[in-house]
Amino acid sequence: MKKPEKITSRTADFAKWYVDVITQADLMNYGPIKGTIYFKPLGYKIWENIVKIVNAYFVKQKIENVYFPLLIPQDFIEKEKKHIEGFAPELLTITKVGDKNLVENIYIRPTSELLFADYFKAEIAKNNILPIKLNQWSQVLRWEKTTNPFLRNTEFLWQEGHTIHASKVEANQFAKKIARFYKYFLENYLAIPVISGQKTEREKFAGAVNTYTVEAMMQNFRALQSATAHFLGQNFAKNFEIFYKNKENKSQIPFQTSWGLSTRLIGAIVMVHSDDNGLIFPPKIAPIQVDILEFFSKKNQEVKIFAKRIAKILKNAKIAYKIDDTDQQIGYKINNSEVHGAPIRIEIGPNEVKNNQICLVRRDNHQKFFFNIDLLKEKCRKILEQIQADLFKKAKIRLLENTVFVNSINEFEQAIKNNKFVIAPFSESPEREQEIQEKTGATARCILPKNSFFALPQAGNSIFSGEKTNKFVLFAKSY
Amino acid sequence: MKKPEKITSRTADFAKWYVDVITQADLMNYGPIKGTIYFKPLGYKIWENIVKIVNAYFVKQKIENVYFPLLIPQDFIEKEKKHIEGFAPELLTITKVGDKNLVENIYIRPTSELLFADYFKAEIAKNNILPIKLNQWSQVLRWEKTTNPFLRNTEFLWQEGHTIHASKVEANQFAKKIARFYKYFLENYLAIPVISGQKTEREKFAGAVNTYTVEAMMQNFRALQSATAHFLGQNFAKNFEIFYKNKENKSQIPFQTSWGLSTRLIGAIVMVHSDDNGLIFPPKIAPIQVDILEFFSKKNQEVKIFAKRIAKILKNAKIAYKIDDTDQQIGYKINNSEVHGAPIRIEIGPNEVKNNQICLVRRDNHQKFFFNIDLLKEKCRKILEQIQADLFKKAKIRLLENTVFVNSINEFEQAIKNNKFVIAPFSESPEREQEIQEKTGATARCILPKNSFFALPQAGNSIFSGEKTNKFVLFAKSY
């Protein structure tokens, strides 16, 4: 029999705990190039589930899927300096094909604004129809100095949406709408509460006018930027000379948005919900919702038959299950199920068979339930719903308990030192933000909207300058 | 009003006709780098439909989806010389990141055998469980000299499946099984009849022991290799030193397969079924199965209401439809529908509304049907089935009529000159195949299996050497 590996505890070493969980839960193996990973079946299945839900929303919004090239030519790169400056050090550059040198370098997309701008230009010149709302499911590559599986990979999977509109207001509203959807998706499907708001000038996307972000709190109280939507204004349209004709047949420059979420969310799911025994999946996104564990099935065929009965009921209820019919020890099977994160496990031994009884255990709080098999479908559904709600509640309480409001530099620095999310009245310069980062390690995560769930005052005094301001900014150490 | 562009006729210039169709039908735009394309919404939707059907089969076969890196390191490349020789001139090579030179070159995957071998090695060392059956939906890049949208792109989308088995027979059988599925998929969903068989030594995949292929005939009688499955033997396993322990705890080298189909199939659909008016989609793969054309709807609100009634019926019947409610001329609308390939269009004018009548036109043969709206669901379904069957039949007759059996060099050369698929008794060397290609432009497409639908003799005399052989090989000019 294989011995289970030991998972480092979160308190001992959070970073090591994270890597232990994602490797032992078979989400990924390290790839051969720095910062790349092999998405294993379970890890990739999480992404497939995310894609399914998010894509259904896009279809409803009449956003159409496309696929655009991985390769960006030299002359595109030169068109949008500001945008590219942000990515330049990370650009993977192709200079050769076979043993022949290319005349011009080719770049691998770090994001596809340049390609969408090129496409929009041609389409609008041909059809003059706006808005155009597109999305692609693909990967992008950025050569990062520090990498972390899922959270910051050289190559990651994502969706990138790109739209172009005649109206500035319509475009900006559209970016906001997508950001609202991201918040909804994280909270309602991934059970991850977020704080959403606009990025500061310093933190916004290279080339954007406004960036709207959703920020989540990991169990070590670090922030994770979990999805963003950008209002790009006319920045790309101007550089690519995109024009449409308005009703008066006058040439006008349209407005763009772009927005994305990525496989980084897999890391967020792990870091928000899991524990020292391994992964805990929110039921709505779990690749396997119920593990069925056969005990002593080698000696007792009835156990196998009972497992199949259970499987049939779950299948009809559209609950994703997996049967562990291996010859491993009971302890190993339970441990293995806990490591891999199925929200529920059902344990079947000869006793259960004899009594037509289900022994169900919640992964998150180890609560045990015993009931007749006739109640299985109903109970399972209810308990899965309960787990989903409880995981969200737990994460939300953590977020609230560890977010503090401060009014002075001292309080600010102390709170950051204590690993809090810190909200402060703040109307300072990007340079000040940089100072703060250098001194405390914290960055501005977002400007809080007026209607945020924190009962903020109408105005305050910016903590450095003392200037009166109605802007409140969330700061935190982040991934 | 926009004027429709003219599509070149197939007889005038087949290559130009193809490009006219795929661009005017909005399947793609050319990308900024040679051989790359922008998959437009309609073009990408074909791929999404293919993915859905093929993936469902994989799930049934317990093949698990993964995602592996785009990047291959230098030392992997050096491990499998024979395999890489086949791809070396096409390898896109990354030598720089930002403005820094890399110490070792990085290559973009032209296919992922090397990465899967690396992954299998680690997994089997850890778990010693076989077989492992994986698949990924991704893209690969090959810098081709001559490119052709969908048929031969620098970057194309595909699925690549990779399995590893303890048993040689099991692995080889598995590759054959996948090839059978590919044939089934092409014939039953894409309405593309194929000839399947094993590749000759010269034509097989670089690094494979056997390659199984499905070959289709385009309307210009050229062959298109439409999907392949490879039995890799122990070639990769040996080079990567992959071992498993058998029941006697002895180290053994396992056997691998790999297999794929790609967005090349989009080109095949166009080249097999479409006509001089534009695209014709087989109903089972059509992004839009029914175009609903409103005539005079601006003056007549009843037309709009009738269109919505029709849409509702089609929606309930799960038939994909699109309403053309623009102000374009009737002729333009009909032309536009024909260009974009919906198998059926429904034309609604005031007369139809008055009589509760449907006027339905088949895209493939322009046949018109008139019937009461109450019959819509049933009629639509039946006609879609009929179109699917008719498209397949038409293509199959074309394939049969243009495939000839020859017994001599003269007949062979004449038949190739006449653009036929040519079957000949053939047991010659790879060098002879090369000679044939240089002289006639034809290549060996596959060795016909015994049970092929051509009533072949038991044996014949190889057309060059005269040697007696029971091997019959299909030759054709190909894409």
SS3 B373: helix
Q: Are B435 and B384 in contact (CB under 8 A)?
A: no
Alpha-carbon separation of residue B173 from B80, B132, B134 (angstroms): 24, 15, 16
The confidence score (pLDDT) of residue A5 equals 78
CB-defined contacts A:B, below 8 A = 156
Assigned token pair, B86: 């086949």
What is the crossing angle of helices B301-316 and B376-401, to 10°? 70
pLDDT category of residue A4 using cuts at 50, 70 and 90:
low
pLDDT in tens, A206-252: 889 999 999 999 999 999 999 999 999 999 999 999 999 999 999 99
d(CA A256, CA A235): 8
pLDDT in tens, B41-63: 999 999 999 999 999 999 999 99
Residue for token pair 């972390």: A148
Candidates B23, B26, B34, B38, partner chain A, best to mutate (most A CBs within 10 A): B38
SS3 B321: strand
* Alpha helix positions (H), B213-288: 235-239, 264-273
Q: Give percent of chain B above pLDDT 90.
A: 92
d(CA B416, CA A416): 78
Candidates A66, A78, A79, A336, partner chain B, best to mutate (most B CBs within 10 A): A66
The alpha-carbon gap from A196 to the nearest alpha carbon of chain B, in Å, equals: 30
Contact between B64 and A47 using a beta-carbon 8 Å cutoff: no
The confidence score (pLDDT) of residue A2 equals 55
Candidates B36, B60, B67, partner chain A, best to mutate (most A CBs within 10 A): B67
Q: Which CATH class is domain B14-273?
A: alpha beta
Residue ranges matching CATH 3.40.50.800 in chain A? 290-380
CATH 3.30.110.30 given to domain A405-477 = yes
Q: Residue B169: exposed, middle, or buried by beta-carbon count in 10 A (0-12, 13-18, 19+)?
A: exposed
pLDDT category of residue B3 using cuts at 50, 70 and 90:
low
Tell which residue, A344, A105, A253, A318, has the closest CA to residue B98: A105
pLDDT category of residue B78 using cuts at 50, 70 and 90:
confident
Tell which residue, A166, A158, A159, has the closest CA to residue A124: A166
d(CA A302, CA A304): 5
The answer to whether the Cα torsion of B446, B449, B450, B452 is positive or negative is negative
Torsion of CA B93, B94, B96, B98, to 10 degrees: 140
**B61 at interface of A, judged by CB pairs closer than 8 A:** no
Q: Chain A residues with CB inside 8 Å of B108's CB?
A: 94, 108
The confidence score (pLDDT) of residue A221 equals 98
The matching CATH number, chosen from 3.40.30.10, 3.30.390.30, 3.20.20.60, 3.40.50.800, for A290-380 is: 3.40.50.800
Q: Using the 8-state DSSP alphabet, how is residue B181 labeled?
A: H
Give B246-253 contacts, CB < 8 A, sequence gap 24+: B246/B166, B252/B166
The answer to whether the Cα torsion of B277, B282, B285, B286 is positive or negative is positive
Assigned token pair, A3: 């011995």
Widest distance between CA atoms in chain A: 83
pLDDT in tens, B88-113: 889 999 999 988 999 999 999 999 99
pLDDT at position A88 over 90: no
Average pLDDT, rounded, for chain B: 96
Gyration radius (Cα) of chain B, Å? 25
Q: What integer is the mean pLDDT of B387-398?
A: 98
d(CA A8, CA A23): 12
d(CA B236, CA B242): 8
The alpha-carbon gap from A43 to the nearest alpha carbon of chain B, in Å, equals: 8
The confidence score (pLDDT) of residue A66 equals 98
Q: What integer is the mean pLDDT of A6-22?
A: 97
Instruction: Name the residue of chain B whose CA is nearest to A114's CA.
Output: B32
How big is the CA angle at A206 (ends A200 and A210), to the nearest 5 degrees?
A: 45
pLDDT in tens, B445-473: 999 998 776 788 889 999 999 999 999 99
Helix (H) or strand (E) holding A258: strand A255-262
Q: What integer is the mean pLDDT of B2-6?
A: 69
Q: What integer is the mean pLDDT of B136-140?
A: 98
Q: What integer is the mean pLDDT of A123-137?
A: 97
Q: Chain A residues with CB inside 8 Å of B105's CB?
A: 96
Tell which residue, A463, A473, A471, A476, has the closest CA to residue A421: A476
d(CA A471, CA A456): 10
Assigned token pair, A86: 């942000």
SS3 A3: coil
Backbone angles phi, psi at B166, to 5 degrees: -75, -35
Q: What integer is the mean pLDDT of B254-276?
A: 98
Residue ranges matching CATH 3.30.110.30 in chain B? 405-477
Residue ranges matching CATH 3.30.930.10 in chain B? 14-273
Polymer length in residues for chain B: 479
Whether residue A32 has a cis bond before it, omega within 30° of 0: no
**A58 at interface of B, judged by CB pairs closer than 8 A:** no
Q: Give percent of chain A above pLDDT 90.
A: 92
The beta strand positions in B185-242, using DSSP E, are 194-198, 210-217, 223-233
Question: C-alpha B43: how far from its chain's center?
Answer: 13
pLDDT category of residue B4 using cuts at 50, 70 and 90:
low
Q: Are A303 and A248 in contact (CB under 8 A)?
A: no
Instruction: Name the residue of chain B whose CA is nearest to A86's CA.
Output: B98
Assigned token pair, B171: 């692995």
Q: Model's pTM, two decimal places? A: 0.96
pLDDT at position B6 over 80: yes
Q: What integer is the mean pLDDT of A149-164?
A: 98
ipTM above 0.90, yes or no: yes
**A96 at interface of B, judged by CB pairs closer than 8 A:** yes
pLDDT at position A451 over 80: no
The confidence score (pLDDT) of residue B88 equals 85
d(CA B395, CA B194): 10
d(CA B179, CA B164): 17
Alpha-carbon separation of residue B447 from A64, A335, B112, B230, B410 (angstroms): 42, 52, 26, 15, 21
pLDDT at position B363 over 70: yes
Q: Give the CB-side neighbour count of residue B64, counting CA atoms within 13 A.
A: 16
d(CA B192, CA B399): 10
d(CA A441, CA A438): 6
pLDDT in tens, A389-414: 999 999 999 999 999 999 999 999 99
What is the crossing angle of helices B14-24 and B264-273, to 10°? 110
Q: Which residues contact A299 (CB under 8 A, 6 or more apart)?
A: none
d(CA B155, CA A71): 9
Q: Give percent of chain B above pLDDT 70.
A: 99
**B102 at interface of A, judged by CB pairs closer than 8 A:** no
Give the nearest partner residue to B92 out of A89, A97, A123, using CB atoms. Answer: A97
The alpha-carbon gap from B89 to the nearest alpha carbon of chain A, in Å, equals: 4
d(CA A418, CA A402): 9
pLDDT category of residue B1 using cuts at 50, 70 and 90:
very low
Q: B 148-177 residues with CB below 8 A of A?
A: 154-155, 157
Instruction: Name the residue of chain A whose CA is nearest to B92's CA.
Output: A97
**A281 at interface of B, judged by CB pairs closer than 8 A:** no
Strands B472-476 and B421-425: antiparallel
Average pLDDT, rounded, for chain A: 96
Q: What integer is the mean pLDDT of A114-122?
A: 97
The confidence score (pLDDT) of residue B455 equals 81
